[in-house]
Amino acid sequence: MGCECSKLCTCCWTSDFDGSVPEGQNEENEEKNEVDDLPPFIEYTIETLKMATSGFAVENIVSEHGEKAPNVVYKGKLENQRRIAVKRFNRSAWPDARQFLEEARAVGLLRNHRLANLLGCCCEGDERLLVAEYMPNDTLAKHLFHWETQPMKWAMRLRVALHLAQALEYCTSKGRALYHDLNAYRIVFDDEANPRLSCFGLMKNSRDGKSYSTNLAFTPPEYLRTGRVTPESVMYSFGTLLLDLLSGKHIPPSHALDLIRDRNIQMLTDSCLEGQFTNDDGTELVRLATRCLQYEPRERPNPKSLVVALIPLQKDSEVPSHVLMGIPDGAALLPLSPLGEACLRMDLTAMHEFIEKIGYKDDEGAATELSFQMWTNQMQETLNSKKKGDVAFRHKDFRAAIECYSQFIEVGTMVSPTVYARRSLSYLMSEMPQEALNDAVQAQVISPVWHIASYLQAASLFALGRESEAQAALKEGSTLESKRTTNA
């Protein structure tokens, strides 16, 4: 005899999803698993990561709690123009260097288009850092709880759920079923606004923190009893994320389950979603969330069965994520400004006119190291060498400009991104592109969000014949310039 209980009860759901995958789906998943254009996992030097992040500059912090976070995440850029996210742990996080390296290498073997993949790590002295792909379009928490322009559409919320389930299925298939503190801050959006799961939570927990940093109301019940994370604990956290997606708020599971038992799903659903989905679709997501939130771990589904359940729910599958999210396509190049166009054409004369015209106004706020030497003869000579360099630069005597600017830089009393930019262009004019690239990188180390430094890197890379890296630097320069214009 069939069950006569409510559609939302859980008594007869345990056999709904057997975890089998439709024929042809396995092959498709296998094809998508590997990510071809990513380099193998490597160990970076601390100097490389300092350079990439402009000396771990405050302007490059992207973690939610800024400098106050125990482990801070920075955005950065390697010399080959690959953008990276660098997680820097506090000093006590991983006292055992070997354990840290083993964990990082194991996670670094994973490569999947549903992950923000781990590219490398750094373990020098007390330093412990992870290096991952950089995702420029914020976290799920930002788009779901703190949106500014538009709430996330229903179709996109379903896509997030599916992509996350696929990420967990892949990790489980590779023997990494444990994920620490799965929450809306761990899901990030790539250039095309596709959701990805951060690889950082795949690391075994270090001694400085707990596996769950969130409020106890969101913690799996068995973790409160044993302090151990299991694959079933991850499924519980997946259920809390389904509630987040449904409600647009971070609702404690106990409160949500009370609403579900009272058949008060209306109270649970984000009012911004009105008219975007049917009752059946909403009920199905509630069913999945409730299964994930079962008190007994063994009664929760596995990632594979979640993927099977979520595929039929998908809407507007042909619409790109960036369109659903209302985000400009990160893969498309922004319209170039006159300076960007000059860089693309390698019109060094036009670039010279522009850099000469702006003078030193972009040095405002750049780091300087002034001391009592400012009043000494040595300081006067340093300033004189800069003035002579400026005169030579204005009159296009680039060899003399290089010599004078070098004298200024070598004394090291003052730090000026503009001087590095001027010497960089002088090197380009003198057919010394590698030296030009080095100076353009230094200019960005001093002034991390200065678009001219990126444009000069692009011009240097074009001159070196490194076309794809040059295009990446040009795109970054254009993005930085566009942000600067918007904020002006």
Domain residue ranges of the chain, discontinuous segments joined by +: 42-133, 139-325, 338-486
Please indicate whether the domains covering 42-133 and 338-486 agree at the CATH topology level: no
Q: Is the separation of the CB atoms in 139 and 198 below 8 Å?
A: no
Catalytic, 181? Answer yes
Nearest-angstrom CA–CA distance, 166 and 389: 58
Nearest-angstrom CA–CA distance, 158 and 269: 14
> Exposed e or buried b for every residue in 364-376, given b needs 16+ CB within 10 A?
eebeeeeeeeeee
Q: Does domain 42-133 have CATH number 3.40.50.2300?
A: no
Q: Would you write out the chain's pLDDT as a tens digit for each of its 488 residues?
A: 334 333 333 333 333 334 444 444 444 444 444 566 789 999 999 999 999 999 999 989 998 776 666 789 999 999 888 999 999 998 788 888 999 999 999 999 999 999 999 999 999 999 999 999 999 999 999 999 988 888 999 999 999 999 999 999 999 999 999 998 899 999 999 989 999 999 999 998 655 446 666 678 888 999 888 888 899 999 999 999 999 999 999 888 988 888 888 777 778 889 899 889 888 888 899 999 999 999 999 999 999 999 999 999 999 999 999 999 998 776 666 688 999 999 999 999 999 999 999 999 888 655 444 444 444 555 676 778 889 999 999 999 999 999 999 999 988 677 899 999 999 999 999 999 999 999 999 999 999 989 999 999 999 999 999 998 999 899 999 989 988 887 76
Nearest-angstrom CA–CA distance, 83 and 37: 13
Residue 128: Cβ-neighbour burial (10 angstroms; 0-12, 13-18, 19+): buried
Tokens of 366: 């750049």
Homologous superfamily of 338-486:
Tetratricopeptide repeat domain (1.25.40.10)
The residues, any chain, with a CB within 8 Å of residue 416's CB and separated by 6 or more, are: 360, 363, 366, 368, 386, 408, 446
Q: Is the separation of the CB atoms in 54 and 44 below 8 Å?
A: no
E strands of 372-482, at which residues? none
Q: Is the pTM of this model over 0.85?
A: no
At residue 45, φ and ψ (nearest 5 deg) are -85, 155
- Find the catalytic residue in 37, 126, 181, 262: 181
Homologous superfamily of 139-325:
Transferase(Phosphotransferase) domain 1 (1.10.510.10)
Nearest-angstrom CA–CA distance, 45 and 31: 34
Tokens of 89: 């742990």
Nearest-angstrom CA–CA distance, 175 and 110: 10
